[in-house]
Amino acid sequence: MKKTAAASVLAALWALSPQAVRPAQPDDEAARRKIAHDIFKQLIEINTTDSVGSTTVAAQAMAQRLLDAGFAKADVVVLGPNDRKGNMVARYRGQAGSKLKPILIIAHLDVVEANRQDWTTDPFKFIEKDGYFYGRGTQDMKDSDAIAIANFIRMRGEGFVPDRDIILALTADEEGGKFNGVDWLLKNHRDLIEAEYALNPDSGTVRTDKPPAVEFEAAEKLYADYQVLATNAGGHSSLPTPDNAIYHVTDALAVLQKSPFPFELNAVTREYFGQMAKIESGQVAADMRAILATPPDPTAIERLSRDPTWNSTMRTTCVATMLSAGHALNALPQRAEANVNCRIFPGHFQEEIRLKLVGLFDDPKLTVRTKNSAGEVADRGTDRKPMAPAPLRGDVLRSLHTVAGKLWPGAAVIPIMEVGASDSVYTSNAGIPSYGICGVAIDRDDERAHGKDERVGIDSYYNGLEFYYQFLEALTTAR
Ligand SMILES: [Zn+2]
Q: Which of 51-55, 142-146, 384-388, 390-394 has the lowest mean pLDDT?
A: 384-388
Q: How far is the CA of 144 from the centre of ligand 1 (A)?
A: 10
What phi, psi does 329 have (nearest 5°)? -60, -30
Amino acid at 52: V
Q: How far is the CA of 416 from the centre of ligand 1 (A)?
A: 16
Residues 6+ apart with CB under 8 A from 475: 103, 162, 395, 396, 399
The mean pLDDT of 326-335, rounded to a whole number, is 97
Tens digits of residue pLDDT in 183-226? 999 999 999 999 999 999 999 999 887 788 999 999 999 989 99
Q: What angle do CA 4, 9, 14 make, to 5 degrees?
A: 120
Q: How far is the CA of 139 from the centre of ligand 1 (A)?
A: 8
Q: How much is the pLDDT for 239? A: 96
Q: How much is the pLDDT for 374? A: 76
Q: How far is the CA of 196 from the centre of ligand 1 (A)?
A: 23
What phi, psi does 191 have (nearest 5°)? -55, -35
Amino acid at 121: T
Q: How far is the CA of 294 from the centre of ligand 1 (A)?
A: 37
Q: How much is the pLDDT for 111? A: 96
- Nearest one of 420, 413, 417, 353 to 388, comparing CA atoms: 417
Question: What is the chain's mean pLDDT, rounded?
Answer: 92
Q: How far is the CA of 141 from the centre of ligand 1 (A)?
A: 5
Q: How much is the pLDDT for 23? A: 54
Residue 223 forms beta bridges with which residues?
343
Q: How far is the CA of 435 from the centre of ligand 1 (A)?
A: 14
Tens digits of residue pLDDT in 274-296? 999 999 999 999 999 999 999 99
Rounded to 10 degrees, the C-alpha dihedral 454/459/460/465 comes to 110
Q: How many CB atoms sit inside 10 A of residue 321's CB?
A: 10
Residues 6+ apart with CB under 8 A from 68: none
More confident residue, 450 or 72: 72
Q: How far is the CA of 425 from the centre of ligand 1 (A)?
A: 13
Q: How far is the CA of 421 from the centre of ligand 1 (A)?
A: 9
Q: How far is the CA of 168 from the centre of ligand 1 (A)?
A: 16
Tens digits of residue pLDDT in 6-60? 333 334 444 444 444 455 566 789 999 999 999 999 999 999 999 999 999 999 9
Predicted TM-score of the model (pTM): 0.84
Amino acid at 310: W
Q: How far is the CA of 449 from the centre of ligand 1 (A)?
A: 8
Answer whether residue 106 shows pLDDT above 70.
yes
Q: How far is the CA of 105 from the centre of ligand 1 (A)?
A: 14
What is the C-alpha to C-alpha distance for residues 295 and 433, in angstroms, rounded to an integer?
Answer: 30
Q: How far is the CA of 15 from the centre of ligand 1 (A)?
A: 34
Q: How far is the CA of 56 from the centre of ligand 1 (A)?
A: 17
Q: How far is the CA of 356 from the centre of ligand 1 (A)?
A: 30
Q: How far is the CA of 100 from the centre of ligand 1 (A)?
A: 29
Q: How far is the CA of 267 from the centre of ligand 1 (A)?
A: 25
- Write a three-state SS string for 417-475: EECCCCCHHHHHHCCCCEEECCCCECCHHHCCCCCCCCEEEHHHHHHHHHHHHHHHHHH
**CB distance 213 to 411 below 8 Å:** yes
Answer whether residue 406 shows pLDDT above 70.
yes
What is the C-alpha to C-alpha distance for residues 369 and 226, in angstroms, rounded to an integer?
Answer: 5
Q: How much is the pLDDT for 478? A: 67
What is the C-alpha to C-alpha distance for residues 245 and 231, in angstroms, rounded to an integer?
Answer: 5
- Measure CA 343 to chain center: 15
Element holding 192 (H helix, E strand): helix 190-193
Q: How far is the CA of 147 from the centre of ligand 1 (A)?
A: 15
Q: How much is the pLDDT for 24? A: 54
Answer whether residue 430 shows pLDDT above 80.
yes
What is the C-alpha to C-alpha distance for residues 93 and 154, in angstroms, rounded to an integer?
Answer: 14
Element holding 22 (H helix, E strand): none
What is the C-alpha to C-alpha distance for residues 96 and 283, in angstroms, rounded to an integer?
Answer: 55
The mean pLDDT of 427-441, rounded to a whole number, is 95
Q: How far is the CA of 174 from the centre of ligand 1 (A)?
A: 7
Q: How far is the CA of 264 from the centre of ligand 1 (A)?
A: 27
Q: What angle do CA 225, 227, 228 make, to 5 degrees?
A: 130
Q: How far is the CA of 281 from the centre of ligand 1 (A)?
A: 32
Q: How much is the pLDDT for 20? A: 46
What is the C-alpha to C-alpha distance for residues 105 and 469, in angstroms, rounded to an integer?
Answer: 13
Q: How far is the CA of 146 from the centre of ligand 1 (A)?
A: 14
Q: How far is the CA of 446 from the centre of ligand 1 (A)?
A: 16
- Measure CA 209 to chain center: 21
Q: How far is the CA of 216 from the centre of ligand 1 (A)?
A: 15
Q: How much is the pLDDT for 10? A: 38
Q: How far is the CA of 340 from the centre of ligand 1 (A)?
A: 23
Q: How much is the pLDDT for 19? A: 45
Q: How much is the pLDDT for 26? A: 63
Q: How far is the CA of 313 from the centre of ligand 1 (A)?
A: 20
Q: How far is the CA of 456 from the centre of ligand 1 (A)?
A: 14
Q: How far is the CA of 203 from the centre of ligand 1 (A)?
A: 7
Q: How far is the CA of 334 from the centre of ligand 1 (A)?
A: 40
Q: How much is the pLDDT for 455? A: 95
Element holding 171 (H helix, E strand): strand 166-171
Q: How far is the CA of 462 from the centre of ligand 1 (A)?
A: 19
Q: How far is the CA of 472 from the centre of ligand 1 (A)?
A: 21
Q: How far is the CA of 249 from the centre of ligand 1 (A)?
A: 33
Q: How far is the CA of 119 from the centre of ligand 1 (A)?
A: 19
C-alpha R_g of the chain: 25
The string of DSSP codes covering 201-249 is TTS-EEE-SSSPEEEEEEEEPEEEEEEEEEE---EETTS--S--HHHHH
Q: How far is the CA of 394 from the centre of ligand 1 (A)?
A: 26
More confident residue, 166 or 279: 166
Q: How far is the CA of 436 from the centre of ligand 1 (A)?
A: 11
Residue 336: pLDDT band with limits 50, 70, 90: very high
Q: How far is the CA of 297 from the centre of ligand 1 (A)?
A: 36
What phi, psi does 452 have (nearest 5°)? -90, 160
Q: How much is the pLDDT for 386? A: 75
Distance set, CA 132 to CA 47, 455, 461 (Å): 20, 6, 9
Buried b (16+ CB within 10 A) or exposed e, 177-214: bebbbbbbbbeeeeebbbbebbbbbbbbbbbbeeebbb
